[in-house]
Amino acid sequence: MRDDNCIFCKIANGEIPSATIYEDDDFRAILDLGPASRGHALLLPKEHYADLYALPDEVAAKVLPVAKKIVSRMKDVLGCDGYNLVQNNGEPAGQTVFHFHMHMIPRYENDGVGLGWKMGTLTDEDRDEILKKLSGEQ
């Protein structure tokens, strides 16, 4: 299924030109127009899924192997020192385009790219509450 109003659907299916670095039957990877670092790319499924929650398991199972193939090649081409794979779900998590996509961000020594967060502490209370809820206890 495609969404006629989704810019990523149009890009993934070649209706809008992009700097494509990879394409197969299910995905297109493009260089990001607003890169966090040199070589920042997006992995887009050709079908429309709003976010990870909507992504079918069979498509989800393909995402990481495709991303690995791309970043392995890009690491050689760019000579970067590492990679961040970032996937946001929901506006509070930083998602701005509601078509599942994965950011593949090359990292360079001392590049200043800010992807961090303030480290917190797992309290005993939070740990116990979360584990209890996950186990189905109330």
Phi/psi for 97 (5° steps) reads: -115, 120
17: its two tokens: 């030109």
From the list 4, 12, 6, 3, the residue with the least C-alpha distance to 41 is: 12
Of 40, 99, 101, 103, which is the active-site residue? 101
Quote the CA–CA distance of 132 and 109 in Å, as a whole number.
41
Tell me, yes or no, if 101 is annotated catalytic: yes
- Overall size of the chain counted in residues: 138
113: its two tokens: 């790219």
Quote the CA–CA distance of 77 and 67 in Å, as a whole number.
15
Which residues are part of the catalytic machinery? 101
